[in-house]
Structures are given as C-alpha cells and as structure tokens.
Amino acid sequence: MNMNFLITESQLKLILEENDSSSLSEYMKFLYSFAKDVVGRSRRKFGIDLKLLTTWGSAIGGFAAPLDNFIRSKNLKISDDQISLILVGVIATLIFDNEKVFNKAYEIIKEEGLTEIFKKVLNKGKKLKDSFLDFISSLNVSFGNVTSLIRYSFLIPIVTDIQSIAVGSTNPNETASLIVQRLIAAGVVTIAAESLTKMIKGLVKKFR
C-alpha cells in the first residue's frame, strides 16, 4: 500500500472525535431510537409488546433499519404503524424466535392485508441474517452461538464506515480501540467492551 494513503492513529482519533455528522456513537443512538419507535408503535397500535428492548435495542435497530428502507423503497401505500408491525413480525421470527409474539403479529398482519409484503420482507431478513452471520464467521473469531452473534447486528449499517476507517490505519489494535470507544460512548451498546473489541479487531484486520 502507498504510504501516502496511510493516516496516523492521532489523525484517526481526530476524525472520529470531530466528524459529528458521521459519529459512530450518534448513529448507535439513532439505531436505539429507531428500535424504540418500532417497538413502541406496535405496542400502542396493535398491543404487541416485544420485550428485551433495553438489552437488544441497538441490535434490533441495526437489523430492522435496512428492512425498513427496503419496505419504503417499494413506495407502498402503508402506514408507519403497519411497517412497524411487519418489522416486529420479522424480528420476532429471526432474532428472538418468539412464536407467541410472531403468531399475534401474523394474525394482525393478515387482518391488515399485509401478508405478501410481510413474506417478502421476511425473506429479505433471512438473507440479511445469513449474510451477516457468514460475514462474521469469515473473521475466524469465536463468539459462541448464533444468538450471541445476532446481538452484534448493530454493526450491519456501519460496516462500510468501519471499513473506511480501517483501510488507512497503521495500527489495527489502536484503531479497533478507538472505534469501540466511540460505540460505547453512545451508552446504548450492551456488549461488553472486551467482546466488542475482539469483534472490531477482527473487522479491522479483515479490511486492512
């Protein structure tokens, strides 16, 4: 690699601290807020209470946000409440494997005439989940079972950002530590710092 394209760790730290428009910690807060909104809408409108938000908030947001974009890209004439209903049905199936919540959501989905779009979003979600798990497996870092890995779904929307930061890094370990600091600073990531650092180090090394 041409040394002219490398950045020092002090420069990297400056970029991470000053670039508020693309702050990783701010984006984590957005994902948590997004998840809270989706879960809240489903509870208020349809009486579906998807629990564990406090533990899974940012992970739910990281997984559901791309699916929300997928639904809205179809320009369907459905409400925000209906979109949240669909997302909760998908989350209950693919993240929590909660049959009780899924059955309740699916009954309402049928009543709302959303069965076909739900199936399309569920299929999209399955592909997203499989791709994410395959990608994480490629890091050759052990993180336990599938449920443990899914808790890292908040990384899905920011993988390209991490890649951009990692490409010019001169010190992978220092880069990983700085990224972890920014993520944890949001206060909504419940993964232990040690485990998260392990994951981010794997990402940084892969991208370099």
The pLDDT value recorded for residue 7 is 37
**Which residues, other chains included, contact 102 with Cβ-Cβ below 8 Å and sequence gap of 6+?**
89, 92, 93
State the pLDDT at residue 75. 84
Asked if 88 and 105 touch (Cβ cutoff 8 Å), the reply is yes
Distance CA 15, CA 188 (A): 22
CB 10 within 8 A of CB 4: no
- Per-residue pLDDT tens listing for the chain (208 residues): 333 333 344 544 544 454 443 478 888 889 999 999 999 999 999 999 877 776 788 889 999 999 999 999 988 889 999 999 999 999 999 988 888 889 999 999 999 999 999 999 999 999 999 888 888 888 777 666 666 788 889 988 888 888 877 877 778 788 888 888 888 888 888 888 888 888 888 888 888 7
Flag whether the pTM goes above 0.75: yes
pLDDT of residue 144: 64
Q: How many residues does the chain have?
A: 208
Q: Report whether 24 contacts 157 (CB < 8 A).
A: no
Task: Show me where the domains of the chain are located.
Answer: 9-207
* Cα 177 to Cα 196: distance, rounded to the nearest angstrom: 9
